Amino acid sequence: MNPTSAIVIFDIGKTNKKLLLFDEQYKLVHEESMQLPETTDEDGFACEDITALTQWVNESFDKLSHDERFTIKAINVSAYGASFVYLDDEGKVILPLYNYLKPYPKELLKNFYTDYGGESLIGKQTASPSLGNLNSGLQLYRLKYEKPAIFSAIKYALHLPQYVSYLLSSKINSDITSIGCHTYLWNFQQQKYHSWVTQEGIAEKLPALFSSTGIAGYANGEIPVGVGLHDSSAALVPYMISFKEPFILLSTGTWCVSLNPFNHSQLSDYELNNDCLCYLSYEGKPVKASRLFAGYEHEQQVKRLSEHFKTPVDYFSTVNCDTALLKKLKPVNKKQQSSDNSAMIGQSYFAKRELSEFSSYEQAYHQLIADIIDQQVSSTDLVLTGTAVKQIFVDGGFSQNPIYMTLLSKAFPGIEVYAASLPQASALGAAMAVSDKKMDSDVFKKHFSKYK
């Protein structure tokens, strides 16, 4: 049997680490998934076990390179952001991979804003709200002032996608999709590192930027390896290649992220306060994005429904869209909802509803999705304004939810709304970025179904 020519992608999420192989037509031909136990940093805070992750990558590649079923044509990486791996002069890891959810010292953050113009100015210049450790540049700033000796020992700081690329290629690079993702490192107005990065001696620890579509090096001396991409930017790649008319990608999961590659306006204070930010695409162009904690909210509320109606937690997956129940939906009290600290990251209005008001699980679940859609429209509108968007593509968990998709399409009557059945969008984008052969747009479009 002739071996299958394949592009190998290491797709690394916070929970699942995946090894994916795509053939030359971008059909998924092999998939492995692994969950690695977390470790703790020196403060006892949970974090990625970089030693275990390194071992998994090396062992997976070694095993794959001896698998006679496949001929590896190229390798690339898609991974989560806000995650630095620190190397010393010998290229060895010298610190934990700190968790971006770890609380950031308030006094240190106050000093940073005092020195560099304040939260609003920094937010507009770097196209990101204040997010603590999620602003990964601040992780380096923290090390400089809390652990100066360790900071001095850092030769290179690599975001996680570039670290995995380094493991495979032995080449050290930075990539614009990781540098430009709510890091506080990149000045979007000047299209270069922010002045504070140079003034604090951090720029010298960041390797040279390398093309997101270039070959960073070679594994085993012969297999091309890409530089690695931030997963949100990677997910956009096939869409940007296949669709030229303005669109929004609504990527749904724990966070529901509305990505608009056609909105290049500077972020306002209002947008920053509502959790808007900008990513940089694989082409280095700004992509305005808004985030909603809707997947997490859905998870919490279906537990509540399960307890009240005495059903399995996953009972919602059996509920179909019922037109009669849609007619019974209750309105949202906008005044009460606006009293929340942030509609984008807070609970939906459904959390305030008495479940005794509903005669059945099905009726209550329709209301839950309607209340989430109310939030989703507000979130998506933040990046929709001022652009001639004709299509919204929904991928991830909610794309398979008929109530969600029906209500979303009704909420945007002038825009075509599509559900994607495309698996592994981030991995597919990373594969396309490192390959000369692009997926035929007509083939790509077959992965979508339109909601009327």
Are the CB atoms for 266 and 288 separated by under 8 Å? no
Q: Distance between CA atoms of 336 and 371, rounded to whole angstroms?
A: 13
pLDDT digits (tens, 9 = 90+) for 193-209: 999 999 999 999 999 99
Q: What is the pTM of this model?
A: 0.87
Q: What is the pLDDT of residue 159?
A: 98
Q: What is the pLDDT of residue 422?
A: 74
Q: What is the pLDDT of residue 308?
A: 97
- The more confidently predicted of residues 342 and 127 is 127
pLDDT band of residue 337 (cuts 50, 70, 90) is low
Alpha helices in 72-214 (DSSP H): 106-115, 119-126, 137-146, 148-153, 160-169, 176-179, 195-199
Q: Which residues contact 420 (CB under 8 A, 6 or more apart)?
A: 393, 394, 395, 399, 447, 448
Mean pLDDT lowest among 26-40, 240-254, 409-423, 435-449: 435-449
Q: What are the residue boundaries of the structural domains of the chain, listed by start? A: 4-227, 231-452
pLDDT digits (tens, 9 = 90+) for 353-404: 999 999 999 999 999 999 999 999 999 999 998 889 999 999 888 999 999 9
- The more confidently predicted of residues 333 and 289 is 289
pLDDT digits (tens, 9 = 90+) for 58-116: 999 999 999 999 999 999 999 999 999 999 999 999 999 999 989 999 999 999 999 99
Find the mean pLDDT for residues 324-330.
95
Same fold, 4-227 and 231-452: yes
Superfamily designation of domain 4-227: ATPase, nucleotide binding domain (3.30.420.40)
Count Cβ atoms below 10 Å from residue 312 Cβ, excluding itself. Answer: 10
Q: What is the pLDDT of residue 336?
A: 54
pLDDT band of residue 338 (cuts 50, 70, 90) is very low
What is the helix, strand, coil percentage profile of the chain, to 5? 40, 25, 35
Q: Which residues contact 130 (CB under 8 A, 6 or more apart)?
A: 109, 119, 122, 123
pLDDT band of residue 346 (cuts 50, 70, 90) is low
Indicate whether 224 pLDDT > 70.
yes
pLDDT digits (tens, 9 = 90+) for 275-326: 899 999 999 999 999 988 898 899 999 999 999 999 999 999 999 999 999 9
CATH code: domain 231-452 is 3.30.420.40
